[in-house]
Chain A
Amino acid sequence: MINAVGRDIPDYLLVDGKEVYQGRFAKDGQVLKRDAPTTVMHEKPVPDKLCATIREACEKCGAHDGMTISFHHAFRNGDYTASMVCKVLVEEMGIKDLRVAATSLGDAHNLLADYIEQGIIVQVQASGVRGRIGDVISAGKLKEPAIIRSHGGRPRALMSGELHVDIAFLAAASCDKVGNASGNGGKNNCGSMGYAIPDSKYADRVVVLTDTLAPFPNVPASIKCEDVDCVVVVDEIGDPKRIGTKEARVTQDPRDLMMAERAADIIAATPWFVDGFSYQTGAGGPSLAVTRFLEERMDAKEIKMGVAFGGITGNMCDLQDRGYVRKIVDTQDFDTKAIAHLHDRPDHVEMTVSDYANPANKGAYVNYLDYMILAALEVDTKFNVNVITGSDGVVRGAPGGHPDTAAGSKCCIIVTPLVRGRMPTICKDVTTVTTPGECVDVVVTDYGTAVNPARQDIIDCMDAAGIPHVTIEELQEKAYSIVGEPDPLQWEDKVVAIVEARDGTILDVIRQIKPYTFE
């Protein structure tokens, strides 16, 4: 069946109430009963919840074949724990048919790629898949298609019961003997635990892994003892050098700066640029640079940013320290500076990914977002965005909060070069739709800016401010004139991953890629 973004979704996937994507607000007002985890009565006091080994915790929590386990990705490429736990489950306990529902997976999890190839991990659900896991998924090694969900789509799926986690294994920088866990106060800190908190609330069993056992009670705690079954102290939860990167430098690339300045001009020309405006950027070079150009425009108008949210970098913290930002509400920290800042500053606070982006709650933060600055791998002439599949059709990206913030924000601006090497960013049809074009308002490139024709209000603002713009088709033609028109990718029939829209309908599917031949 063809869905609202023109993608043909195979009928065999449309079972058990699964529907195709019908538009960005199609499910608004739908009533949902929250799924509930099981709990276990603990009337009789015990000294602590400590387990000597991961295996002991897994046994206590009833690890079994076919179960769904979850991990969070605040420790990103430095995470040791997901691989550590899977190794125990597979190699010590012989558990089979594992389903891994991580908030994201990447280069730190190559061991899981081996287990997928061996048929031990049969399904993956994640907001992003990078590294070798993406290669094996695209090669069709999973028994069931992977499910790719946005940051808001994942807590929605937990809430609706479509994703039910048997055991959540949650790494924490510090934890006490009964499970009060935090992203700070340890030897390897990640800052915000925004991704992990919904799992602690919705999983049947919760195991906290830490390398820093803190005195009881370890408060303020992100994960509460009432939700935690077991605590395991391991040597290292991660490689600190790869957990928090050094502070992201603002780009010096003149092309990026030119695009960033244009995006800042557009923001300053629109009616939501008033005192107290809300703002988020992605962590990419040009996106981050937009913030730098906003500063002088805030000065000129004598206004301040009310709130910055989402994934936070050190340069947003700097901006707050210099008085430009009233509150930072933080789902994830991208660098060591932001991690420390969350701990030290009372007006920089943690938020859960459900509070941030979940479309199935009573109004997530993204619904109150004025400006969202994003990057893209591809944008097509319908303004659809792809951030999941590379030019070779292989899964190697993450929708993350892209679809959520684009749908919620009043003005969603994509900042991206027209071409990257030989790859046209602006194309006729994106390889995979991760964000529907109806949510995307403005595309700024180094060869011109295009505005979604649905946003005549923004076009009028830009015209009034004298900011030039072209059509998206002109940008696409310019791109193809430089790099040539790309040949269509060659796919097998087999669906290897399902891309869910944030409301749980099917936005697109990713098929197995055929090995390239010249014939």
Chain B
Amino acid sequence: MVIEKTAMAGTLESSDAQVTVSPADTLEIVIESSVINQYGRQIKATVEETLERLGVKNGLISVVDKGALDCTLKARVECAVFRSCDASMVNIPWGGVIQ
């Protein structure tokens, strides 16, 4: 997928993550987390895996994590990317790239 415009998903509540994606020429992931010392590596891996599954090659991906579980992180990244393509309202590929 191609990130077409800036879009956001998630909140800054505890146990959630706020993911913002914007168009860019390269792929850059910026992570802030309340649990970065113990889970930074795993958060980054989860975000990278999710982007790869969605076929996102370029974009600025900003994650502000408040201790979200991996399932929440995946969902927030997926939603932000789909919103950036105006694809989040209908015909969502449940069971396809959205797992």
Give Cα distance in the complex from A487 to B39, angstroms: 6
Interface residue A1 (Cβ < 8 Å from any Cβ of B): no
Within the complex, the shortest CB–CB distance from A139 to chain B, in Å, comes to 14
Contact A422 B69 (CB under 8 A): yes
Give Cα distance in the complex from A391 to B34, angstroms: 9
Interface residue A13 (Cβ < 8 Å from any Cβ of B): no
Residues 7-66 (chain B) with a chain A CB within 8 angstroms: 14-15, 31, 34-42, 44, 66
Give Cα distance in the complex from A420 to B38, angstroms: 14
Contact B67 A484 (CB under 8 A): no
Contact A518 B37 (CB under 8 A): no
Give the residues in chain A near B36, CB-CB below 8 Å: 392, 516
Q: What is the 8 Å Cβ interface bit string for chain A, positions 408-431, against chain B (1 contact, 0 not)? A: 000000000000111100000000
Interface residue B70 (Cβ < 8 Å from any Cβ of A): yes
Give Cα distance in the complex from A482 to B34, angstroms: 17
Give the residues in chain B near A489, CB-CB below 8 Å: 37-38
Contact B39 A422 (CB under 8 A): yes
Give the residues in chain B near A439, CB-CB below 8 Å: none
Besides A487-B38, A516-B37, 8 new A-B residue pairs in contact (Cβ under 8 A), listed by A number: A391-B35, A421-B15, A422-B39, A423-B35, A482-B69, A487-B40, A488-B38, A489-B38
Residues 479-519 (chain A) with a chain B CB within 8 angstroms: 482-484, 486-490, 513, 516, 518
Q: Which residue of chain B is the closest to A390 with respect to CB atoms?
A: B37
Residues on B lying within 8 angstroms of A by beta carbon are 14-15, 31, 34-42, 44, 66-70
Give Cα distance in the complex from A421 to B69, angstroms: 8
Give Cα distance in the complex from A86 to B67, angstroms: 38
Contact A421 B38 (CB under 8 A): no
Contact A518 B41 (CB under 8 A): yes
Interface residue A359 (Cβ < 8 Å from any Cβ of B): no
Contact A483 B40 (CB under 8 A): no
Contact of B37 among A392, A420, A483, A484 (CB under 8 A): A392
Q: Which residue of chain A is the closest to B65 with respect to CB atoms?
A: A422
Band of interface residues on A: 10 to 19
Contact B40 A484 (CB under 8 A): no
Contact of A484 among B14, B31, B70 (CB under 8 A): B70
Contact B37 A391 (CB under 8 A): yes
Within the complex, the shortest CB–CB distance from B27 to chain A, in Å, comes to 14
Q: Which residue of chain B is the closest to A422 with respect to CB atoms?
A: B67
**7 A-B pairs with the lowest CB-CB distances in the bound complex, closest first:** A421-B67, A486-B38, A422-B67, A392-B37, A421-B15, A422-B35, A516-B36
Give the residues in chain A near B66, CB-CB below 8 Å: 421
Give the residues in chain A near B31, CB-CB below 8 Å: 518
Interface residue A393 (Cβ < 8 Å from any Cβ of B): yes
Give the residues in chain A near B69, CB-CB below 8 Å: 422, 482-483
Contact B67 A423 (CB under 8 A): yes
Give the residues in chain B near A490, CB-CB below 8 Å: 37
6 A-B interface contacts by CB (under 8 A): A391-B37, A423-B38, A483-B69, A484-B42, A488-B38, A516-B36
Within the complex, the shortest CB–CB distance from A385 to chain B, in Å, comes to 18
Contact B38 A391 (CB under 8 A): yes
Contact B37 A422 (CB under 8 A): no
Q: Which residue of chain B is the closest to A394 with respect to CB atoms?
A: B37
| Given A483-B69, A484-B70, A518-B44: A421 in contact with B37 (beta carbons within 8 A) | no
Contact B39 A421 (CB under 8 A): no
Contact A487 B41 (CB under 8 A): yes
Give the residues in chain A near B44, CB-CB below 8 Å: 518
Within the complex, the shortest CB–CB distance from B76 to chain A, in Å, comes to 14
| Given A391-B35, A483-B69, A484-B70: A422 in contact with B15 (beta carbons within 8 A) | yes
Contact B41 A422 (CB under 8 A): no
| Given A482-B69, A483-B69, A484-B70: A421 in contact with B34 (beta carbons within 8 A) | yes
Give Cα distance in the complex from A513 to B15, angstroms: 24
Contact A516 B40 (CB under 8 A): yes
Give the residues in chain B near A484, CB-CB below 8 Å: 39, 42, 70
Contact A518 B67 (CB under 8 A): no
Give Cα distance in the complex from A393 to B67, angstroms: 16
Give Cα distance in the complex from A421 to B67, angstroms: 5
Within the complex, the shortest CB–CB distance from A504 to chain B, in Å, comes to 31
Within the complex, the shortest CB–CB distance from A513 to chain B, in Å, comes to 7
Q: Which residue of chain A is the closest to B37 with respect to CB atoms?
A: A392
Give Cα distance in the complex from A483 to B69, angstroms: 6
Give the residues in chain B near A483, CB-CB below 8 Å: 39, 69
| Given A482-B69, A518-B44: A393 in contact with B37 (beta carbons within 8 A) | yes
Within the complex, the shortest CB–CB distance from B78 to chain A, in Å, comes to 19
Q: Which residue of chain A is the closest to B73 with respect to CB atoms?
A: A422
Give Cα distance in the complex from A460 to B44, angstroms: 46
Give the residues in chain A near B34, CB-CB below 8 Å: 421
Contact A513 B37 (CB under 8 A): yes
Q: Which residue of chain A is the closest to B14 with respect to CB atoms?
A: A421
Give Cα distance in the complex from A315 to B68, angstroms: 35
Give Cα distance in the complex from A483 to B67, angstroms: 9
